[in-house]
Structure 1
């Protein structure tokens, strides 16, 4: 019997539709995937349809659904790909809930081609995760096996030593004011250094070690306050559009005042986007 999996995101127009299409396409013999939204839109984002069609998956007939549509269905697993408040949202019955956040396409900005490129990157990240989560030999699957603890130890022992990994440095330029608040990811509230520590564990599987450093703004020779592998994060991933969260007048310029750096544009980078930027910086070194 196929295992039922429900993917949930905010609008059911991007991430959850991608995950449903990918799992049904590649593992439809073992899983039956569904998707829903906490606040669904009227239609699926056309970029979602396009990037799936590029790899042979047609979801053009799909319509966003509210999670309440599945209130009478029992799922083996529910995957929540967005911010979620259990006090405000009632989920269907399930044996297991997994929270796995992916970059929110709604926040992408730039030209149509830039946005489409970002949708492809989210698609590929979801594809990689669903493959490892549901079909691959990974930590999550090992945790669910009969010998979970033993397999987890084997899995972790396969990490290369730091001296065998290639370094990727994450540099944050900070002001001289020690009382200034650290940059935090808004989806979890965790500081940048905490997120980088977790990302280091993930990237070790790919042979990279992540180094985090804070340097004074006076040493900055770029227009970016956040460098990954020596590259501005803006060159690696589209940053969220400040006009959607920033109350400052400078948001009218797209978040980057001419000739200046502004920490405001880094205040709404979710963990998933930050991890994606680190991965892209590492991939560019291959």
Structure 2
């Protein structure tokens, strides 16, 4: 792994789960970890409930937008975390893959999205502890 690990979060629409995970990782790890997110079938815009849930914890993800998953993004990542994108994510040697089985926030109310957000935060904190053990 490079001196600055690189993480790619992937979900289908890149509008909720992967954006919240990227927001938490950027906020909590700063420049110590390179953060990317993408989707296999990106939505036109971010999920408003995900934006609201992240704002509640002081993280603004409104400057982000859904992006298409590219081979290059996978190839240049040390860790790829999938969130319900199935077999659409290319698997490459030398890349560590994890699947986070998380409920999709699409169409859910803010109460459900808060639970998903909090589960994502806990997983991101565990990931930081794994990738940057000296910081914990």
Q: Does the alignment reach a TM-score above 0.5?
A: yes
In structure 2, the partner of 1:128 is 122
- What is the 5 A alignment of 1:113-262? 115-135=109-129, 141=130
After TM superposition, give the deviation of residue 95 of structure 1 in Å: 2.3
Structure 1 residue 101: Cα displacement = 1.4
Shift of 1:72: 7.5
Number of residue pairs matched by the alignment: 129
For 1:50 and 1:11, locate their aligned partners in 2 and report how far apart those are by CA, in whole Å.
17
Secondary structure of 1:133's counterpart equals helix
Equivalents in 2 of 1:59, 1:107: separation in Å?
A: 18
1:101 equivalent in structure 2:
101
- How far residue 123 of structure 1 moved from its aligned partner, in angstroms, is 0.5
Could you say what secondary structure the match of 2:65 adopts?
coil
| Alpha-carbon distance in structure 1 between the residues aligned to 2:5 and 2:58 | 23
Partner of 2:55: 53
SS at the partner of 1:58? coil
- Could you tell me how far apart the structure 2 residues matched to 1:35 and 1:107 are? 20
2:32 & 2:57 partners in 1: Cα distance?
Answer: 20
Instruction: Supply the distance in 1 between the matched residues of 2:12 and 2:91 (Cα, whole angstroms).
Output: 13
CA–CA distance in 1 between the matches of 2:85 and 2:71?
20
Q: 1:23 aligns with which of 22, 25, 44?
A: 25
Inter-partner Cα distance in structure 2 for 1:91 and 1:43 = 27
Structure 2 partner of 1:84 = 86
User: Which string of whole-angstrom CA distances, capped at 9 and with x for unpartnered residues, describes residues 101-160 of structure 1?
Assistant: 11111253xxxxxx111111110000011111222xxxxx4xxx9xxxxxxxxxxxxxxx
Partners of 2:34 and 2:56 in 1: how far apart? 22
Q: Taking structure 1 as reference, are residues 134 and 103 closer, same or farther at Cα in structure 2, changes over 3 Å only?
A: same
1:64 to 44, 63, 66: 66
Question: Greater Rg, structure 1 or structure 2?
Answer: 1
How many angstroms apart in 2 are the aligned matches of 1:57 and 1:119? 15
Give the corresponding residue for 1:11. Answer: 13
User: Which runs of 5 or more structure 2 residues have no equivalent in the other structure?
Assistant: none
